[in-house]
Structure 1
Amino acid sequence: MKEIFYFITDVGWGHLTRSIAVLEKLLSTVPEVKITVKLGRDLTQVPSLFPDTDRITLKNLPFKLVPGWPATYPFPVEVLQDMIADWLSQWENMVEHLRKEINKASLVLTDASPLPIEAAFREGVPSVFISNFNFYDEYSHIVREPSLEKMKKAYEKVSWAFLLPLESENTVFKIVDRAPLIAREHNPLKVQEIRRDLRTRYRPEMIAVISMGGFYSIPEILIESIVEASKKAKILWLVPEGIELPKGILAHQYRKYEDFRNLLAASDFVIAKYGYGIASEAVVSRVPMVLFYRSAILEDSIASEELVLSGSALRFPWEACCSIPLEEVFYLDFSNLSKRMENKGAAYIVEKIIKRFL
């Protein structure tokens, strides 16, 4: 039985969903593999999203796999700089911890963090990077921190790098394998059931789902836009649990980690903070997107622009949320997406991994 360690940076929707899609394909294609999933954030809310099998073990790490981002946006650069410096000061201890974890592994996979790559290199274990961005380029675009070179040098030691569509800037990988999109498919029967239930309960003209990511509440100016949009049409707004919209606005709360792919596919459009998970599953389900992006962050700016140029999304800077142009949303379509935006990434990556490493 071969053992793979899969390091998932955090519980953001993109990190989780693309990693789970690869895990599912690995398990179904390679019967003799056992996978240990290590998360750099709390696992308590997410186990139900993973395949239910004794071939997967889920474990928390005692530290973060990346410094992350400040909890509010816009953020002072100094706050991010302090987060990065504090995390990098623990670099050697974290790498040595991971070395002990993976010393019997056949392969190490990482969705974005350079730490597992460095640990695998020191242990002589092959490593594979699977993401649409890397944190060195994201951070070095914002802060001037010399010790970031540790991250860059670690990324350069990877055995193989798969870059996904909606990719950000890349200066660390000299040779990359540009894979197709990775997203989970929705369940058509479940989608029909959700739509039927929501339409029976609320009688809306349209259904819109809102997702602002794990750290962000709905901005006040966007709430004003929701109120204005609700005057034009009877819209049912699907909002995360705990989010309250003004009285008189038709709203239905959903749990953060419930099966979001089917909820998204049951909607007429999505309003979201840009993220790979939201964007990829909206593309697969052909749900028009209204995206708010953090202009200071490369991934947000570059990837959301790609979706706009393809005609499948509208986008606005987070700093300037504005009224929702409902009349434009329904002119969006998915006919101009590139071939790489087909949901074939998990199969493509697993086939390459088997040939090269298993």
Structure 2
Amino acid sequence: MITFAISKLGFGHLTRQFALCEAIRSLDDSINFQFIISDNQYSFFKNYFAENIILTDTSFFSPCITLSKADTVDIDSSIYSFQMAIDFDTQIRNDSEWGRVLENTDLLINDIEFFHNSIARKMNIPTVNISNFTWSDLLKPYANSRLTRDIMNYERMVDFNIKLPLATACESYDDDFEELGLLARKVDTNKLNKLKRSINTTTARILITSININSSYQINELISILTLDYLVMVPEKLFLNLNLAKENDNLHIIPSEYLEFQNYIQIADLVIGKAGYGVVSECLSSGTPLLYWIVKDIVESTPLSNGIIQSQMGEKLKLSMFEVIDQILLLIRGKYHSTEIKNKVIAKRILEFL
């Protein structure tokens, strides 16, 4: 059995491992899988797990960055979370849980997570880390050196590191890693064709994925302006939160049960949202330009923004309303060069450790 231990910070960590899981299945359909995720991740993607008979377990403590608001990291709470993880009593409580969960594991795949690496090593379970950042990278500007050093020591207890594109320094890798390419969900051709038929329009399609706003204007005003000339696609949850007018012909509501956003990203002429890795990678693979909200006080934003801008894939959105509209008009003109997905290449390399 392959066990995935996945960061609970957002959904992009989970969706890229779905992509890896499917690639592994295409090479060997006899392998069983277990996903260790948060309750929130499970509730959002429970239909996927039900269909694929994937086990989950969320009963133990796992440190994570804390968001005080949608666009701001709570530094003090985040540091406390990781200090708790290194605490001796917390380790004792978690060791028995991890030992139970990993009991039948033949290969462990970490997406950012590290806290259980010492247990996996004691159990002689080969461990592969797949990451575009490390926790020690994110905490280094804010936490004391001893805490980041302790976390780095845990992060180093793996057999193999895969560094994904648009990554931070990943200092704990110590140059012991491989860069095998982009890991992202692939477009479903049948579903894509259905979407194109159902959203048949001669105007440009703009997909708004989230409202992590770090500016003075209101998202409602932006959508109102955009729908005068373009078709705007928004998730149902976002639609309900914003209390938008349902009778707007240029507003397409994405049903809450639709989870494969890569298909919407593919048909979009522009994506607006938070620069989470899931959205970033799927924009890169489709060649769709991305205009994104800034997240305050998180080091990941800097290398992500640099990478996207260098690839002409997005712009920082900390502008006036008129500047935002100007940026949209510039970006909406066409697709950019797409980045090839390397899911199967990564899967083949990982299977060498089984």
TM-score (norm 2): 0.85
Map of 1:18 onto structure 2: 16
Map of 1:194 onto structure 2: 195
* Deviation string, structure 1 residues 228-259 (Cα, Å, up to 9, x no partner): 4445x233242442232554864333245522
Map of 2:25 onto structure 1: 27
The alignment partner of 2:161 has SS state of strand
The letter of the residue matching 2:346 is: I
Equivalent residue for 1:236, pick from 218, 232, 247: 232
TM-score (norm 1): 0.84
The CA deviation at 1:317 is 4.9
Map of 1:302 onto structure 2: 303
Map of 1:146 onto structure 2: 146
| 8 Å Cα contact 1:128-1:161 kept in structure 2 | yes
Equivalent residue for 2:336, pick from 328, 334, 337: 334
The alignment partner of 2:242 has SS state of coil
Q: Does 1:108 pair with 2:108? A: yes
* Deviation string, structure 1 residues 116-147 (Cα, Å, up to 9, x no partner): 32221122211000111111111122333633
Residue range with higher mean Cα deviation, 125-134 or 297-306: 297-306
The CA deviation at 1:177 is 0.9
Change (3 A) 1:220 1:257: farther
Percent identity, aligned pairs only? 18
| 8 Å Cα contact 2:269-2:334 kept in structure 1 | no
> What is the aligned-residue RMSD (CA, Å)?
2.9
- Give the 5 Å matches for 1:301-320: 301-317=302-318
| 8 Å Cα contact 1:294-1:317 kept in structure 2 | no
Map of 2:64 onto structure 1: 67
| 8 Å Cα contact 1:211-1:240 kept in structure 2 | no
Change (3 A) 1:245 1:137: same
* Deviation string, structure 1 residues 250-308 (Cα, Å, up to 9, x no partner): 43332455222222222221101001111111222222211123252222220222111
- Give the 5 Å matches for 1:125-204: 125-144=125-144, 146-174=146-174, 175-199=176-200
Please give the alpha-carbon distance, in whole angstroms, between the structure 1 residues aligned to 2:189 and 2:30.
Answer: 31
Residue range with higher mean Cα deviation, 277-286 or 236-245: 236-245
Please give the alpha-carbon distance, in whole angstroms, between the structure 2 residues aligned to 1:263 and 1:24.
Answer: 20
Map of 2:3 onto structure 1: 5
Please give the alpha-carbon distance, in whole angstroms, between the structure 2 residues aligned to 1:304 and 1:206.
Answer: 24
The CA deviation at 1:79 is 3.2
| 8 Å Cα contact 2:231-2:252 kept in structure 1 | no
Map of 2:124 onto structure 1: 124
The letter of the residue matching 1:196 is: R
Residue range with higher mean Cα deviation, 58-67 or 103-112: 58-67
Equivalent residue for 1:84, pick from 82, 85, 99: 82
Unaligned runs of 5+ in 2: none
The letter of the residue matching 1:298 is: V
The CA deviation at 1:87 is 4.1
Please give the alpha-carbon distance, in whole angstroms, between the structure 1 residues aligned to 2:39 and 2:149.
Answer: 24
| 8 Å Cα contact 1:292-1:318 kept in structure 2 | no
